[in-house]
Amino acid sequence: MISRLAVISMHTSPRLQPGVGNAGGMNVYIDELSQVMAEHGIHVVVFTRACQAGVPIDAEVSPLYTVVRIEAGPTRPIPMADMVQHVDEFGDGVERWIDESGLTFDLIHSHYWLSGRTGVRLKNRLGIPLANSFHTLGRVKDVNRRDDEPAASEIRKGIEFNTIAQSDCVVASTPYEFDDLLDHYGATPERLCISPPGIDHTLFSPGSRDEARQTLGWGNEPTLLCVGRIQALKGFDIAVAATAEVAHRGIDDVRLVIVGGPSGPAGDSELAMLQTLATDLGIADRVTFTGPESHERLPAYYRGADLLLMPSRSESFGLVAAEAQACGLPVIASSVGGLPYVVTDGESGILIDGHSPSAFAAAIDKTLSSPDDHAHMQLQAIANAHKFSWEKTVDRLLELYDGIKAL
């Protein structure tokens, strides 16, 4: 078994709060994996770009889990598109830290395409194996992007192709991502591995709906929930339009709560568009934007809501859907990316082909109008979520790591 692992997460630190800026499910993924691997006796060092002034370069999360912040570009948050010009500077900093520390690593695991560039560089410099997880793929996002979204850059797609070609193992979250890597990137099947993320079941678990609503200050109205960064690919515009249609169908007290903050260069304009859309559709008083919430507070939202909406245009896995189900919250989601792997259609939720607000509204209306169906989905959601745990994920990754290390 490996004893020391270098994790590359250039564009976002695992210690940042999800739902803020570039922080999302990937942050949770890296942080949870690092903590559980440290509990297994593996020394994990996560390298990320320094984006906050006054924060120490090395931050010890636990005795075997350290986050190292590398200066590359300005020490503040910057748009993702601007980070690519600092990739080589980041790689220089990682190499310098490793040289000065005197630490040796058994394996590198890079996350996202920006980190893949540094992962390949370290593999060749240190002569150790490289695993890479993309979390999202440029070509796949392009397939379902909204018309006003820019296409993935050629630089991004070029780095993705090169990272796939040079990785000893590309880790896909689901069989669907495995197929995307084959179909859109011509990846070699023998170098592809599947390892789904997990859930912290001590945090995400069933609980009292009434207590959760009291904690959040909610009434007893039928409540729909969206959780995630506010950006076009999350499809929150579809959720707003579907909520308006449900209200017009007769459930006029329905409300929508959106938890998350603006993300990316178009994040603020996306939030403004959603607010304008709610006003134009006559439901501004029924749509609440809470901003980001801590990971520890999210279970109250999942327990208090009636349905989670995930009308995503792209989703490699859908960690929010898994967490919601663990709390007993059924999910109505787009049938894209990894969501069909996470949500069992007709049991723990409903999957929608395409992105029609009317199709989402019909599914919401059908579920809310049938207490028996809703109760059945709640039970199935809890059972379905037990497929995912961080212990299982770590066990699977350690098996993969040992396999590529032996090559």
Same domain, 82 and 106: yes
Same domain, 232 and 170: no
In a domain, 253, yes or no: yes
CA–CA distance, 87 with 117 (Å, rounded to integer) = 7
Dihedral, CA of residue 363, residue 366, residue 371 and residue 373, to nearest 10: -60
Q: How many CB atoms lie within 10 A of CB 297?
A: 13
The β-bridge partners of 58 are 68
Show the domain range for 394: 4-198+389-405
Same domain, 174 and 230: no
The predicted-structure confidence for 217-235, as pLDDT tens digits, reads as follows 999 999 999 999 999 999 9
Rg over CA atoms, the chain: 21
- Report yes or no: 381 and 331 within 8 Å, Cβ to Cβ: yes
- Report yes or no: 176 and 338 within 8 Å, Cβ to Cβ: yes
The β-bridge partners of 119 are none
The pLDDT profile of the chain, 407 residues, written as one tens digit per residue, is 899 999 999 988 888 766 555 656 788 899 999 999 999 999 999 999 998 877 777 888 999 999 999 999 999 888 888 899 999 999 999 999 999 999 999 999 999 999 999 999 999 999 999 999 999 899 998 888 888 888 889 999 999 999 999 999 999 999 999 999 999 999 999 999 999 999 999 999 999 999 999 999 999 999 999 999 999 999 999 999 999 999 998 888 999 999 998 987 788 999 999 999 999 999 999 999 999 998 899 999 999 999 999 999 989 899 999 999 999 999 999 999 999 999 999 999 999 999 999 999 999 999 999 999 999 999 999 999 999 999 999 999 999 999 897 66
Query: Kind of pairing, strands 287-291 and 192-194?
Result: unpaired
Same domain, 249 and 218: yes
Dihedral, CA of residue 154, residue 160, residue 166 and residue 168, to nearest 10: -170
In a domain, 240, yes or no: yes
Amino acid (one-letter) located at 388: F
The answer to whether the Cα torsion of 34, 70, 48, 406 is positive or negative is negative
What pLDDT is attached to residue 23? 59
What pLDDT is attached to residue 173? 95
Kindly report the CATH number assigned to the domain that includes residue 191. 3.40.50.2000
How many domains would you assign to the chain? 2
Same domain, 63 and 101: yes
Task: Extract the tokens encoding 319.
Answer: 């960690």
